[in-house]
A and B are shown apart, each in its own frame.
Chain A
Amino acid sequence: MTSPFSDEKPSSAARRIRMTVNGVAVEAVAEPRTTLVDFLRGDLGLGGTHVGCEHGVCGACTILLEGRTVRACLMLAVQADGARLTTIEGLGRDGVLHPIQQAFVDEHGLQCGFCTPGFLLSVHELLEQNPDPSDEEIRDFLGGHLCRCTGYKTILRSVRLAARRLRETKAAVAAHAEASS
């Protein structure tokens, strides 16, 4: 994975940008025409954000910008100057999966796995906003993601499982806090 502009000398229009990606401060020079997804993949080496259509329909390149999902193929890198981003590499760490990732494993919520990182980040946003979504709410929220393998059944199940586990964890933490106060 390389930047579409690797090896090129920066043009006079190139801009220095700074952002925080998965908790790490980064600073780099980006061409005005570089998309955010190409920047993440090419300049930062974060290959988990996949490019499926490059025109904003498939959702594979979804990341979080200030906690909200965006399509990294529809944004320019320079537009993310100063922003706080989370990609799939920031969801689980060092082999320990985030509960949403674990739920997708447990429920066979993926086949080829190419669309999966985008789904996972959207589910993250959904469950932050709505810890107990109905099937209709899940469908509404994930309607902008295409998966060609699963037929979505196990994705729905994965989201339900992740939601339940996250709620249970939250309740356990709250009970523990109450008991120790």
Chain B
Amino acid sequence: MTGGIPKTIADLPTSKARYIGERVPRVEDQMLVSGRAEFIDNATLPGMLHGAILRSPFAHARIVRIDTSRARALPGVFAVVTGEDARATTAPLGTIPDGWGVHCLAVDKARFVGEPVAAVAATSRALAEDALEQIDVEYEPLPAVVDAFEALKPGAPLLLEEKGSNVVLHKQFRWGDVDAAFRDADRVVREKLRWNRLGANPMETFGVIAQWDPSEATLTCRGSYQTQGYMALGISAVLQIPAHKVRVISHPHGGSFGGKGGMRGTCIAAMLSRQADGRPVKWIEDRMEYLVGGAGQAWDRHYEAALALRSDGRFTGLHVTLLDDLGGTPEGAGAISAAKPLASFTGCYTIPVAAYDLTLVLTNKLPTGPYRGMGPPPHNWVLEHLVDTAARELGIDPGEIRRRNFIAKDRFPYEIATGNEYDSGDYEAALDRVLEMSDYRRLREEQAQARAEGRLVGIGLVSTIEPGVFDWNAYAIVGVPMTGVPEGATVSIDLFGKIVVKVGFSLEGQGQYTVAAQLLADYFGVELGDVRVVAQDSLSAPPHFGPGGSRLGVALTGAVLGAAERVKAKLVRAAAHLLQADPGVVVLRDGRLEVPGVPGAEMTVAQVAAVMLTRSDLLPPDLEPSPEATCVWTAPGRTPADADGRAKSYLTAANACHIVRVEIDAETGQVTIDGYWIADDCGVRLNPANVEGMIQGGVAQGVGAALLEEYVYDADGQPLTSTFADYLLPTISDVPIPETAAIVTPSPFTPLGAKGVGEGAMHTTPAAVLCAINDALAPLGVQATETPASPHRLWKLLESARSHAKSNR
């Protein structure tokens, strides 16, 4: 609902917004810098036991026999569970698409290294780990399939034998007459590109305390959950407990980026608690477990893509073929990441027709899950790479070819070939700004000079869309049937005029509590510190999803302002009665309910709230004595998807234009980023400092994706990246600090005109850095077509170019 929700900051009932739109310090921070936040591993319950999980050392193996008798006999061990217990008491894990689930503990066979095989609860973690060593598992190793193309072949080892194939989904989409577009094109550019596995790696891993109540047959799970209500549904389905008997309590957590996971760990901890007669069981994933067996791997992709164009550089069609390696099972929503690109398939460009040949396949690796951006970051790289290739072949500047194809600012709302509608934008404005900031002409001159000196200097210029305010309907092609994502908030005013807002999510880092406090402080004319944000658990909160899909800032604004409007309506009725005025003439302004033009006819919000709560005799008889209201917001105007996945899905389309300058060391292949400029348009910025934090955080993860991060498996499916010494996260010395500018094109569809920005620069930075690298390599006739562009990959390319040059001499 958006009925009465203010459309702009100027529409708020305040003469001047003091907080919203400003760089307000975060209300979350006092607790965090003091080390006092209750992250899940800081929580303790009476009688609590500690869990540890035994994991498969093989990528693919029959489990012949498990003997847990020695572990059970250890003093202090209270529960031991295996796949047999899971088979007896739980349903397979939910998957997308549906019907490919396995149990939370491996039954009969293990499908990836790190898959849980057995688990123990004991009086300490150390004792639980000691007990794991006393569990004897007899494995019969099976041939593993690690490569996605091998997994497609007849006769390949099968992950789920009963399915008869490793192919989870194979569909071809044609949005418009793509064949004609390619047949009639003046030119077609094609490329094969490989995006290797990488993932979220929040600094805190997943953790849970599960407590089964044998008397009530209920389950309470406290943990570092990104989306507690959604998790509760999944837990209910797996553990076969009605959803209203599962309570999930999200604790403040140390980042997520989609990669917190926790379904297996939660279900295993719950099984242990049940076997231990209801003693709470804590399980904290360690980093090695996270890297090999957690929710931290995403986007293992093989692309073939082609762009059709006219000789003047206008794009006429896009064809993307994606083979996406989901790993051992589709339990981690990796398939959604393959569907989400439909929300911005053709980027910033007027490409009238598009095709997508999508294959999702299983291999003996960790199941892939969500990661910031949820799929478009690799897709954007593919598209922008093709655009650069086209520019190079046609001799058009990369900025100019993009400009020729941009959706013009007067064409919004604009429906793209894949059916989503972009709300607003001014892509040329962002391009112009970043060209100016970077002094682009000078950059090119300096590049020419550097090339003349034999140096490998490259400039990347890319322009991308960040789909914001996710909707389930965007994922229809992989079997998600819903439309709409409800997010609720309850706003209450106490008899002192202080405000409490209750929400269904915990701290994760984006500063959403601050945004809620900013909104309400301005709406009711109080100080920021007069607003308190309280997290409620999955059973207590109004319908909610929480952070995800660049959505919560917008959705929370809708819910909070919607609830505030409803509270205001009650206050107005009470005040009108008290002031003996017509409710139609009473207004809320700057924290007072007043009758404009009537001196003295005014009361403060606190006075009215206090009367409502303490003097029912003074109220109109039919007015509920409650200055409290709930609003549950979902994006307006969303449409269910048609058979080809076309839908109005993501509500907003933010835009960013990045320019990056890199230099590659010709001897070592090391890339240095020595210039970076960003113009970003995410509509109205509710807290510019928060927005800049999202953008810079996305730059860091994007640089990691482009240059450093990669999960590596050997030919037998053994993970070779099981520590932070192997899986490289960007450090303070690796991340550039771009010069940034804000373009503001308000969204016409959202409260206050804000757009989703939480995934931010992750959509743009990988493509920008990789395009810069390829610009540097272009004169050598080689291109980096695989991520990350690590020194050893670039060195090999440089060597091949050098030997090629020699042999041509």
Q: Name A residues whose Cβ lies closer than 8 Å to a Cβ of B.
A: 1-8, 31, 33, 41, 46-55, 57-58, 60, 87-89, 92, 95, 97, 101, 104-106, 108, 110-117, 120, 138-140, 142-156
Chain B residues with Cβ below 8 Å from A114 are: 39, 202-204, 253-255
19 new A-B contacts, CB < 8 A, other than A101-B34, A114-B254, are A2-B50, A5-B127, A8-B76, A8-B126, A52-B203, A52-B205, A52-B287, A53-B723, A58-B203, A95-B34, A104-B29, A104-B33, A111-B510, A114-B39, A144-B731, A148-B201, A149-B509, A150-B697, A152-B696
**Cα separation A120 to B43 with both chains bound (whole Å):** 23
Q: Which of A4, A50, A138, A140 contacts B204 (CB 8 A)?
A: A50
Stretch at the interface among B90-98, B172-180, B641-649, B732-740: B732-740
In the assembled complex, how far is the CB of residue B292 from the closest CB belonging to chain A, in whole angstroms? 13
In the assembled complex, how far is the CB of residue A157 from the closest CB belonging to chain B, in whole angstroms? 9
Contact flags B110-128 to A (C-beta < 8 A → 1, else 0):
0000000000000111110
Contact (Cβ within 8 A) B202 A154: no
Contact (Cβ within 8 A) B124 A7: yes
Residues 686-730 of B contacting A (Cβ, < 8 Å):
689-690, 692-693, 696-701, 723-725, 729
Contact (Cβ within 8 A) A2 B44: yes
Contact (Cβ within 8 A) A51 B41: yes
Supply 18 A–B pairs (Cβ within 8 Å), ascending by A. A2-B282, A7-B124, A8-B124, A55-B723, A60-B203, A92-B33, A104-B33, A108-B25, A111-B255, A111-B697, A112-B203, A113-B37, A116-B33, A117-B35, A144-B731, A148-B255, A153-B735, A155-B732
Chain B residues with Cβ below 8 Å from A87 are: 35
Knowing A151-B735, A152-B735, the reply to whether A105 touches B33 (Cβ < 8 A) is yes
B441: Cβ under 8 A from any A Cβ: no
Chain A residues with Cβ below 8 Å from B23 are: 108
In the complex, residue of chain B having the shortest beta-carbon distance to the beta carbon of A138: B732
B511: Cβ under 8 A from any A Cβ: yes
Chain A residues with Cβ below 8 Å from B698 are: 151
In the assembled complex, how far is the CB of residue B376 from the closest CB belonging to chain A, in whole angstroms? 19
Contact (Cβ within 8 A) A4 B126: yes
Contact (Cβ within 8 A) B50 A4: yes
Contact (Cβ within 8 A) B257 A148: yes
In the assembled complex, how far is the CB of residue B757 from the closest CB belonging to chain A, in whole angstroms? 13
Chain A residues with Cβ below 8 Å from B257 are: 148
Contact (Cβ within 8 A) A151 B33: no
Contact (Cβ within 8 A) A151 B699: yes
In the assembled complex, how far is the CB of residue A72 from the closest CB belonging to chain B, in whole angstroms? 13
In the assembled complex, how far is the CB of residue A134 from the closest CB belonging to chain B, in whole angstroms? 13
In the assembled complex, how far is the CB of residue A66 from the closest CB belonging to chain B, in whole angstroms? 20
Interface centre among A55, A101, A149, A156 (most CB of B within 10 A): A149
Contact (Cβ within 8 A) B32 A113: yes
Contact (Cβ within 8 A) B724 A57: yes
Contact (Cβ within 8 A) B26 A108: yes
B186: Cβ under 8 A from any A Cβ: no
Closest 9 CB pairs of A and B: A48-B35, A114-B254, A113-B32, A112-B509, A151-B700, A88-B35, A111-B509, A151-B696, A47-B42
B215: Cβ under 8 A from any A Cβ: no
**Cα separation A144 to B733 with both chains bound (whole Å):** 10
Interface centre among B39, B76, B123, B698 (most CB of A within 10 A): B39
**Cα separation A115 to B255 with both chains bound (whole Å):** 10
B442: Cβ under 8 A from any A Cβ: no
**Cα separation A132 to B253 with both chains bound (whole Å):** 33
**Cα separation A131 to B31 with both chains bound (whole Å):** 26
Chain A residues with Cβ below 8 Å from B509 are: 111-113, 149
Contact (Cβ within 8 A) A47 B35: yes
Q: Which of A50, A104, A120, A140 contacts B254 (CB 8 A)?
A: A50
Contact (Cβ within 8 A) B732 A139: yes
B446: Cβ under 8 A from any A Cβ: no
Contact flags B271-298 to A (C-beta < 8 A → 1, else 0):
0000000000010001110000000000
Contact flags B663-703 to A (C-beta < 8 A → 1, else 0):
00000000000000000000000000110110011111100
B28: Cβ under 8 A from any A Cβ: yes
Contact (Cβ within 8 A) B507 A112: yes
Knowing A150-B696, A156-B732, the reply to whether A113 touches B44 (Cβ < 8 A) is no
Chain B residues with Cβ below 8 Å from A145 are: 731-732
Contact (Cβ within 8 A) B202 A148: yes
Chain A residues with Cβ below 8 Å from B123 are: 6-8
In the assembled complex, how far is the CB of residue A108 from the closest CB belonging to chain B, in whole angstroms? 5
Contact (Cβ within 8 A) B124 A5: yes
Contact (Cβ within 8 A) A2 B48: yes
Contact flags B172-211 to A (C-beta < 8 A → 1, else 0):
0000000000000000000000000000111111000000
Chain B residues with Cβ below 8 Å from A1 are: 41-44
In the complex, residue of chain B having the shortest beta-carbon distance to the beta carbon of A145: B732
Contact (Cβ within 8 A) A150 B693: yes
In the assembled complex, how far is the CB of residue A47 from the closest CB belonging to chain B, in whole angstroms? 4
Knowing A55-B724, A108-B26, A146-B731, the reply to whether A49 touches B35 (Cβ < 8 A) is yes
Chain A residues with Cβ below 8 Å from B287 are: 52-55, 58
In the complex, residue of chain A having the shortest beta-carbon distance to the beta carbon of B31: A113
**Cα separation A111 to B509 with both chains bound (whole Å):** 4
Contact (Cβ within 8 A) A153 B29: no
In the assembled complex, how far is the CB of residue B670 from the closest CB belonging to chain A, in whole angstroms? 16
**Cα separation A50 to B510 with both chains bound (whole Å):** 20
In the assembled complex, how far is the CB of residue A34 from the closest CB belonging to chain B, in whole angstroms? 8
Chain B residues with Cβ below 8 Å from A143 are: 731-733
B807: Cβ under 8 A from any A Cβ: no
Contact (Cβ within 8 A) A57 B723: yes
**Cα separation A5 to B122 with both chains bound (whole Å):** 10
Contact (Cβ within 8 A) A154 B35: no
Contact (Cβ within 8 A) A108 B689: yes
In the assembled complex, how far is the CB of residue B632 from the closest CB belonging to chain A, in whole angstroms? 26
Chain A residues with Cβ below 8 Å from B42 are: 1, 41, 47
Knowing A5-B124, A139-B733, A153-B737, the reply to whether A147 touches B203 (Cβ < 8 A) is yes
Chain B residues with Cβ below 8 Å from A58 are: 203, 287, 724
**Cα separation A57 to B730 with both chains bound (whole Å):** 12
Chain A residues with Cβ below 8 Å from B732 are: 138-139, 142-143, 145, 147, 152, 155-156
B809: Cβ under 8 A from any A Cβ: no
B30: Cβ under 8 A from any A Cβ: yes
In the complex, residue of chain B having the shortest beta-carbon distance to the beta carbon of A51: B41
**Cα separation A142 to B201 with both chains bound (whole Å):** 19
**Cα separation A111 to B203 with both chains bound (whole Å):** 11
**Cα separation A60 to B205 with both chains bound (whole Å):** 12
In the assembled complex, how far is the CB of residue A88 from the closest CB belonging to chain B, in whole angstroms? 4
B421: Cβ under 8 A from any A Cβ: no
Chain B residues with Cβ below 8 Å from A51 are: 41
**Cα separation A50 to B203 with both chains bound (whole Å):** 9
Residues 218-238 of B contacting A (Cβ, < 8 Å):
none
In the complex, residue of chain B having the shortest beta-carbon distance to the beta carbon of A114: B254
Contact (Cβ within 8 A) B34 A97: yes
Contact (Cβ within 8 A) A115 B724: no
Contact (Cβ within 8 A) A113 B696: no
B759: Cβ under 8 A from any A Cβ: no
In the complex, residue of chain A having the shortest beta-carbon distance to the beta carbon of B690: A108
**Cα separation A169 to B396 with both chains bound (whole Å):** 57
Chain B residues with Cβ below 8 Å from A5 are: 124, 126-127
Contact (Cβ within 8 A) B204 A110: no
**Cα separation A54 to B28 with both chains bound (whole Å):** 26
B36: Cβ under 8 A from any A Cβ: yes
B602: Cβ under 8 A from any A Cβ: no
Chain B residues with Cβ below 8 Å from A41 are: 41-42
Chain B residues with Cβ below 8 Å from A144 are: 731
Contact (Cβ within 8 A) B33 A50: no
**Cα separation A22 to B537 with both chains bound (whole Å):** 35
In the assembled complex, how far is the CB of residue A137 from the closest CB belonging to chain B, in whole angstroms? 12
Chain A residues with Cβ below 8 Å from B282 are: 2
Contact (Cβ within 8 A) A105 B724: no
Interface centre among B32, B34, B126, B127 (most CB of A within 10 A): B34
In the assembled complex, how far is the CB of residue B191 from the closest CB belonging to chain A, in whole angstroms? 29
Chain B residues with Cβ below 8 Å from A95 are: 30, 34
